[in-house]
Amino acid sequence: MLPSEDAFQAARGNMMPRSVLSRCARLTQQVPLESARSTKHGVHRGMSSVTIPPPACMLRPLEAPFRYLFGPGPSNVPPRILAAGGRPIIGHMHSEMFGIMNDIKKGIQYAFQTSNNMTLAMSGSGHTAMECAVFNIVEPGESVLVAINGIWGERVAEIAERMGAKVHTLFKTPGGHFTNAEIEQALAKHKPVLFFLAHGESSSGLVHPVDGVGDICHKYNCLLLVDSVASLGAAPLLMDQQNIDILYTGSQKALNAPPGTAPISFSERACHKMFNRKTKPVSYLLDMTHLSNYWGNDGKPERKYHHTGPVSGFFALRESLAILAEMGLENSWSHHTEVAEYLWKGLEDLGLKLFIKDKDLRLPSVTTIAIPEGYDWKELLAYIMKHHQIEFTGGLGPSVGMVLRIGLMGYNCNKANAAMALAALEDALKQCRKSKA
């Protein structure tokens, strides 16, 4: 069916004059229903050339169920952020868009607690920021040290290896953490240009101590790269005070925006290394020489086209950062801790064992439970999804088969949701048969 004037008006949100809308509707009525036409030269372009029919699935309305996303992310998005993402888009190179990007930069600086000028949001998920950091800082043949105590260290090691770095690793089993003495010993031995550490290791539910690590890295002329995708806004992290050189996060966890944008910030030390390379970064899309201009961070008066940023995603990210600023970082940290402690006590009351024994090392946003003896963890998760419409997850990477993960972050972080999660888990433990996986 061809759109009517009312349809045009609804789509435009009453943004266009009625006379213009009427003209658009009349012009639309003149569009032929068939594309077959003959030119004066006898050239035919018709629908007979289409051999693949429209897929039946695309002729049905979009359907997506409502779920309580109590896993490690993404988390449920609050109506205010959904509304921001649903606003009419503007051009990615419009001055108003640059103003919104400037707001995002300031919001990230607050969330990261940094005054770094080279602060921006990547057009992509947390993996995009992860690759951006490695690709821009490291050159082929340079030494990189990666702390691996879960999946995110494994990912960074593979990314660095793929682009030609000499990768060295510190290793702990899931749930383990590294002492500053262990880190310093490895730095002295391998002399890397970059050291990676996951602050929020969501695959095991560990929040890693960061104090002093930046100072040790700088002692050995090494830059510190920290992953805070699962921890930002939920656990204390202070980029400048803790001497972190590159910090990144994702939009879809405690920030509660849809997946698809990834805040990142580079210190002056990192920028010196990044902009004095002998070789170009392996990725054009992630090249900070271009991205720094796109975000207005290079001091040049004009921003040039580099790529089309996710306009709606940036709208949502800006709103999520505004919500965090309104609440206050310290209030957000304490709120996540309070709800996490409520959840931890409820889990222990059910007779379950928390995977991270040391309370101070538990990630407030993602709680890990040792798989209860005698149960098939996949059956537990399937039961909870089917009967309660709640998503919990199992382990990830090296923690698969070791843990169940419950995430309560941002909009989902409240005691009512914690109680709902506990009731669903208690029901599953009663209903699922006890038999080894």
Q: 135, 282 in Cβ contact below 8 A?
A: yes
R_g of the chain computed on alpha carbons: 25
CB atoms within 10 A of CB 105: 22
Is 405 annotated as ligand-binding? Answer: yes
144: Cβ contacts below 8 Å, ≥ 6 apart:
134, 138, 157, 160, 165, 166, 167, 168, 192, 193, 194, 195, 196
Return binding residues.
Answer: 405
Return binding residues for substrate.
Answer: 405
